Amino acid sequence: MADVFISYKAEDRRRVQPLVQALQGDGFSVWWDEHIGAGDAWRETIERQLDEAKCVIVAWSKRSIGPEGAFVREEASRAQRRGVYIPVLIDAVEPPLGFGESQATSLRGWRGSLSDPHYDAVRSAVRRNVGEGTPAASPPQRVQVDRRTVIVGGTAAAVAVAGAGTWALLKPGSANAASDSIAVLPFANLSGDPGQAYFSDGVAEEIRSALARVAGLKVVGRTSSEAVRNDDARTAAKKLGVTNILAGSVRQSSSTIRIDAELIDGTTGMDRWSQDYDRAPGDSIKIQTDIAEKVAVALSAALGRAARAAIALGGTENAAAQKLMLQANALSYVGTVQADQRALDLLDTAIALDPNYAQAYGLKSLVVLEHANQFSKSGAELAAGRTEASRYAAIAIRIAPQLPIAHGALAEIYRSELRMKPALSEYKRVFQLAPAAPDALRAFATFLVHVGDPATAMDLAKRALALDRLNPASYGARATVLYCTRRYADVVRFADELKRNSPQLFVHPVTLANCLVMLGRFEEARRSYAQGPVDEPFRLVGEAVLAARMRDRAGAHSRLDHMQQLYGNAVSYQASQIHAQLGEVDEAFASLDRAWEIKDPGMISLKVDPWLDPLRGDARFTPLLRNMDFPFA
């Protein structure tokens, strides 16, 4: 006798499978019709299992409530009569007449997480039935969406609000979704160990990155995909403006890895392609490549030799090395000294396992560079970090000349070193190799607006926003373009609308405050600065500029001194902004000379920064611009 009998429509088998696996992982015996053998009298077998099970979970869906769902309704009736009926919803439907008295738990969009509160309600109901033999209809649960937001650092002009006219992109279904557009949702971690979530998420990210390298596909970015991880496919597709959703799950043990993948039509909710993989753990890399190739084919993307090579580019055949790289990638988003060091240790081990792992070298280059730019306390430390990052990027490119992450790292290194023309060349290369990568589009857009091509910058920012519309960084990239073209009122107006309608996407009150300062709205700017992170350099420089504009020289110098105590020469460019606003011209140029000497990344703003306007008429300013060698006149 089984603890649980699962009643469902046969076409929903793949959608019910995570529930079966989760219950089995919790120690319950589960019977569903996959257990029927070839020689079994299937009607008699089903009837016997249904009548003996301690509880019956009925999965109500569009199929099971329809005309062809008679067997499901009959099984539900028997379960009701025995008092062991537990209803769940896997679609947005009402149970048929006669089955609505027991409240159903919604499992719409759930893909197997054992910690999800919706599954926990079902598990509790099963435990009550199995342990006590009493009816236990599960209570309704409020839908919660796990929204993980990645904030991308940048120059003092980087913001996370959007300009006028972009609010329409937030409205569900407001954009026309292309048939070749796809979101790869985070794969569910069914391993029973929350510590393995990095791997299931990493598998999805690897597939997402591979598809972004295939010409002709429009692939939603990581952050937006993670924002809808708990939504059903149709809801997720509507929010993201795509026509296709790739969902899946990962279950791994010491001897086996199972990866299930399902390509779903976002309009109808029906499968376009699905496949289960049961392999040895070392085959996980081949599975990821196979999924990416089959999805590309299913979306009618041309998949010739070049596209196949792009999908597998820079990878490894060593499964242990890839797991370490995925762990390091997850840590790289944390942004602390400890997380960076742990990520680098993991990457060193991955590279020791596979010395030709180009992707690991590319990621290591980015981690080293970002760590140097954010945490260096001296010019020498900053330069050493950039030199080290350059070495790793060069190794990655030598191993895999067409690897986007390696060229992206090199572009960021050149940008940090203020080598504008080589940086432009590398950004263009990344755009050619990965035209649907939102991170690359945002970086290229913010680079171009600072060096003198605002029109192209705005176009790239719009593309990034369309591909990653639930990521605050996408709004930041577009607003950076607006800020650098001095459209402050547009930024402020939209920020107010964004805060009212989608506050989770408004994450940079400091830059809103910068715009308010430029508009002379000082009291509003002060309140907005106060919402920013304490001791964050951009807040300190903004508050100093505000004090200068309010003729509070002591307050401005107090913040300048505090900022320099915290960050040393690494904030030389920011010091020049404060001095310029205080009218301390000689001190401002001395700070700019120091910033040029240490290659302070803030110098990229030299051409467009409004806070340096008091210096532009000075004869010393033109040579600085000439030193920068901007690629556009």
* The pairing of beta strand 257-265 with beta strand 271-279: antiparallel
Half-sphere exposure of 31 (CA within 13 A, CB side): 20
Label residue 481 by pLDDT band (50, 70, 90): very high
Packed helices 537-549 and 553-567: angle between N→C axes, nearest 10 degrees: 160
| 172-181, 196-205, 283-292, 575-584: the lowest-pLDDT one | 172-181
User: Looking at residues 550-558, what average pLDDT do you find?
Assistant: 97
612, 580 contact by CB (below 8 A)? yes
Q: Residues for the chain: how many in total?
A: 633
Q: Give the pLDDT confidence of 315-370 residue by residue, as tens digits.
A: 788 888 988 988 998 888 887 888 899 999 999 999 999 999 999 999 999 999 98
Burial of 27 (0-12, 13-18, 19+ CB in 10 A): exposed
Last residue of a domain, one of 102, 132, 162: 132
Beta-carbon count within 10 A of 33 CB: 17
Label residue 34 by pLDDT band (50, 70, 90): low
407, 400 contact by CB (below 8 A)? no
383 versus 392: the higher-pLDDT residue is 392
Q: Is residue 569 part of a domain?
A: yes
Q: What does the pLDDT read at residue 459?
A: 95
User: Looking at residues 66-76, what average pLDDT do you find?
Assistant: 86
Q: Is residue 551 part of a domain?
A: yes
Q: What does the pLDDT read at residue 257?
A: 83
Amino acid (1-letter code) at residue 440? A
Question: Residue 33 belongs to a domain with what CATH number?
Answer: 3.40.50.10140
Which residues is 250 bridged to in the sheet? 189, 259
Q: Is residue 100 part of a domain?
A: yes
Query: Is residue 306's pLDDT more than 60?
Result: no
Buried/exposed 522-543: b ≥16 CB within 10 Å, e otherwise: eebbbebbeebeeeebbbbbbb
Highest mean pLDDT among 242-246, 432-436, 605-609: 605-609
Whose CA is closest to 523, among 513, 511, 538, 535?
A: 513
Question: Residue 551 belongs to a domain with what CATH number?
Answer: 1.25.40.10
Q: Is residue 372 part of a domain?
A: no
Q: Give the pLDDT confidence of 163-201 residue by residue, as tens digits.
A: 333 333 334 343 345 568 899 998 888 776 777 788 888
Helices (H), 509-536: 509-518, 522-529
Structure tokens at 89: 């919803």
Query: Is residue 23's pLDDT more than 70?
Result: yes
Label residue 580 by pLDDT band (50, 70, 90): very high
Amino acid (1-letter code) at residue 417? E
The residues, any chain, with a CB within 8 Å of residue 27's CB and separated by 6 or more, are none
- C-alpha of 319 from chain center: 23
Query: Is residue 141's pLDDT more than 50?
Result: no
Query: Is residue 240's pLDDT more than 80?
Result: yes
Query: Is residue 37's pLDDT more than 60?
Result: no
Q: What does the pLDDT read at residue 436?
A: 82
Amino acid (1-letter code) at residue 182? I
Q: Is residue 360 part of a domain?
A: no
Residue with tokens 């769902």: 69
Beta-carbon count within 10 A of 70 CB: 10
Query: Is residue 39's pLDDT more than 50?
Result: no
Q: Is residue 608 part of a domain?
A: yes
Q: State phi, psi for 112 to the nearest 5 degrees.
A: 120, 0
Structural domains in the chain (count): 2
156 versus 540: the higher-pLDDT residue is 540
Q: How far is CA 322 from CA 208, 329, 347, 437, in A?
A: 15, 10, 9, 21
Label residue 145 by pLDDT band (50, 70, 90): very low
User: Looking at residues 31-48, what average pLDDT do you find?
Assistant: 66
Distance spanning both ends of the chain, measured CA to CA: 79
User: Looking at residues 571-579, what average pLDDT do you find?
Assistant: 96
Query: Is residue 287's pLDDT more than 50?
Result: yes
Q: What does the pLDDT read at residue 425?
A: 96
Whose CA is closest to 430, among 417, 415, 451?
A: 415
The DSSP secondary-structure symbol of 346 reads: H
The residues, any chain, with a CB within 8 Å of residue 123's CB and separated by 6 or more, are 22, 23, 26
Last residue of a domain, one of 68, 102, 132: 132
Q: Is residue 424 part of a domain?
A: no
Structure tokens at 481: 């373009």
Q: What does the pLDDT read at residue 22?
A: 85
Residues 207 and 295: their CA atoms lie apart, in Å, by 10
Q: What does the pLDDT read at residue 249?
A: 86
Last residue of a domain, one of 110, 132, 154: 132
Q: Identify the three-state secondary structure at position 161.
A: coil
Q: How far is CA 143 from CA 105, 119, 172, 228, 562, in A?
A: 10, 12, 17, 12, 45
Sequential DSSP letters for 216-275: T-EE--HHHHHHTTTS-HHHHHHHHT-SEEEEEEEEE-SS-EEEEEEEEETTT--EEEEE
Q: State phi, psi for 105 to the nearest 5 degrees.
A: -85, 130
Q: Is residue 246 part of a domain?
A: no
The DSSP secondary-structure symbol of 115 reads: T
Query: Is residue 120's pLDDT more than 70?
Result: yes
Label residue 381 by pLDDT band (50, 70, 90): confident
Q: Give the pLDDT confidence of 415-442 residue by residue, as tens digits.
A: 988 999 999 999 999 999 888 889 899 9
259, 226 contact by CB (below 8 A)? no
Packed helices 509-518 and 522-529: angle between N→C axes, nearest 10 degrees: 160
Q: Give the pLDDT confidence of 268-280 residue by residue, as tens digits.
A: 888 888 888 888 8
- C-alpha of 98 from chain center: 43
Structure tokens at 462: 């719009």
Q: Give the pLDDT confidence of 506-527 residue by residue, as tens digits.
A: 877 888 999 999 999 999 999 9
CA atoms 479, 483, 488, 490: torsion sign: negative
Label residue 136 by pLDDT band (50, 70, 90): very low
Query: Is residue 455's pLDDT more than 60?
Result: yes
Residue with tokens 């529930």: 19
User: Looking at residues 401-423, what average pLDDT do you find?
Assistant: 92
Name the region of 179 (left: φ>0; alpha: ψ -120 to 50; beta: rest).
Answer: alpha
Structure tokens at 428: 């263009």
Structure tokens at 385: 């970090």
Q: What does the pLDDT read at residue 308?
A: 58
Which residues is 189 bridged to in the sheet? 250
Q: How far is CA 327 from CA 192, 324, 333, 475, in A?
A: 18, 5, 11, 28
Burial of 128 (0-12, 13-18, 19+ CB in 10 A): middle
Provide the domain limits for residue 585. Answer: 508-628
Q: Work out the mean pLDDT of the chain and round it to a whole number.
A: 83
Q: What does the pLDDT read at residue 434?
A: 86
